[in-house]
Amino acid sequence: MKQLEKIDEIGRGGFGIVDRVKDPAESLFARKTFHPSPSIPITAHDQLRKRFKREVSIQAELGGREILPVLFSDLNTAIPWFVMPLASKTYEQQIADDKASGSVDIDAIADILNALEYLHDLGYVHRDLNPKNVLYHEDHWKLSDLGAILPPSGQTVTLTEDTVIYTERYCAPEQRSEFHNAKSSADVYSFGCILHDIFGRGQRTPYARQTADGKIGMLIEKCTELKPERRPSIKVLRGMLLDTLVEIGGHCKISDEKSEEWLQKLGSIDTWNDDDFGDFARFFSQLDITERTEGHENVYVYSLSTPFLTRLHSEVLVKIMKRGDGVASAVIDKYCDWARTTEFEFHFSDTVCGCLAAVFDAGEIATKAIAMTALIALGETHNRFYIMRSLLRRCKTDNLTSEVAKRLEIEIRTEEMEHQFKRCVEVTEWKLQELHPDLAKLCA
């Protein structure tokens, strides 16, 4: 165990104190030590110590790209502690920077969404999501302080913004009375409060429905619905939110009158007849997937590429695909080709991933194959864990028939993408035994 020297205290969260420490080599770390608030009676400390150990174990298991890792710990001492990497900033600081610059870091928001979905998919609920618990480490925003303290039975807790139980300004209404029964929707409420920090005005009333000006305000209202069941899941929220952020930032502006006209028509696609689909197919066939928004032809901000395609939502693609005719094939093929060959900003690659995943889930066997190869290319070229995990979940034995698995194997081999698929498995440390055998052998 390394000998660590305390430099200073950098925070208090849950029932611990976080110190900046250094080892003999002068390397810096963050050490969290069990230290219940004086407001909590000593009789509850044994219970809290057990919870502290449980949370450290969970963070050690999940730590990596989405969750701040645990480097080492001593949980058997009288005063347990653990050590994490020292983050370069908190999201609270990033919000201040964004407001000062007048530009929101969309990739940061995408990272938070991905980390929450990762937790929720595994059945965990953070319960104390706030900007101080989101930390920047190794070029990614990661969650820390997993799981807030469960108040001792029968204890009355006076809530303040800096309470050791949870942070009131970000706490969902239902957590006041049933904290231990909080669902993932409670994290969505907290995330809505973070959005309010960025886009809202004035002070926020705790436990209330929040809002802000413009389209983003509508999404904040949905995230902070008083009834948990009315809040969107992270999966549903991601596409709507990232699309809105890109749009209000002035990106993906469509200057072509014909493209704008078709975007409007897509809103009523359920009423289209065969002639409408034929006209759309002719328009779509002329799109240039190498197009760039004017002024951004030679920069890395490729999420601005092909403005019409950036505005296509997964629901529209699925509706077109379900026609099962030549129009559907042409549209899906071109969209997947665009997804495979274009470099996107991280936040927008997540949106494209959502569209490809929807096409895979709703498509027939041939469509699944082309969508899967697009997902592999997108995930591997962007080195994006969220995308890699999304495609690998769909390759699990329980999610594929033998017929589909064999077709995917043939498609990957034909496209000579075995190396890219294998890299997705290796980078995410995915367990080969979870993959369908026909796909697992591609990694041999």
User: Contact 392/435 with Cβ under 8 angstroms?
Assistant: yes
Alpha helices, H only, 16-148: 45-62, 91-101, 106-121
335 vs 154 pLDDT, higher one: 335
User: Residue 237 has which token pair?
Assistant: 């929220």
Q: How confident is the model at residue 303 (pLDDT cuts 50, 70, 90)?
A: very low
Q: How confident is the model at residue 306 (pLDDT cuts 50, 70, 90)?
A: low
pLDDT digits (tens, 9 = 90+) for 359-391: 999 999 999 999 999 999 999 999 999 999 999
Name the nearest CA neighbour of 145 among 117, 160, 124.
124
Mean pLDDT of 232-246: 89
Q: Which CATH fold would you assign to the domain 89-246?
A: Transferase(Phosphotransferase); domain 1 (1.10.510)
Of 78-87, 289-298, 382-391, the one with minimum mean pLDDT is 289-298
> What pTM, to 2 d.p., does this model score?
0.82
pLDDT digits (tens, 9 = 90+) for 337-346: 999 988 888 8
Name the nearest CA neighbour of 351 among 294, 309, 412, 293.
309
Is the confidence at residue 159, as pLDDT, over 50?
Answer: no
Of 98-112, 148-162, 428-442, the one with minimum mean pLDDT is 148-162
Is the confidence at residue 411, as pLDDT, over 60?
Answer: yes
Predicted pLDDT of residue 295? 54
- Cα-Cα end-to-end distance for the chain: 37
Is the confidence at residue 160, as pLDDT, over 50?
Answer: no
pLDDT digits (tens, 9 = 90+) for 95-148: 999 998 888 998 999 999 999 999 999 888 898 999 999 999 999 999 998 755
Is the confidence at residue 154, as pLDDT, over 70?
Answer: no
Cα radius of gyration (the chain): 24
Predicted pLDDT of residue 402? 96
Distance CA 444, CA 422 (A): 9
Q: How confident is the model at residue 247 (pLDDT cuts 50, 70, 90)?
A: confident
Is the confidence at residue 316, as pLDDT, over 90?
Answer: yes
Of 20-29, 50-59, 210-219, the one with minimum mean pLDDT is 50-59
User: Residue 174 has which token pair?
Assistant: 């239902």
> For the packed helices 257-266 and 274-285, what is the interaxial angle rounded to 10 degrees?
140
Is the confidence at residue 164, as pLDDT, over 50?
Answer: no
Mean pLDDT of 422-426: 97
Predicted pLDDT of residue 157? 36
Q: Kindly report the CATH number that applies to the domain delimited by 252-443.
A: 1.25.10
Q: How confident is the model at residue 58 (pLDDT cuts 50, 70, 90)?
A: confident
Predicted pLDDT of residue 294? 58
Under CATH, domain 5-85 is a member of which superfamily?
Phosphorylase Kinase; domain 1 (3.30.200.20)
Is the confidence at residue 158, as pLDDT, over 70?
Answer: no
**Fold match, 5-85 / 89-246:** no
Is the confidence at residue 9, as pLDDT, over 90?
Answer: yes
Predicted pLDDT of residue 3? 86
- The domain limits of the chain are 5-85, 89-246, 252-443
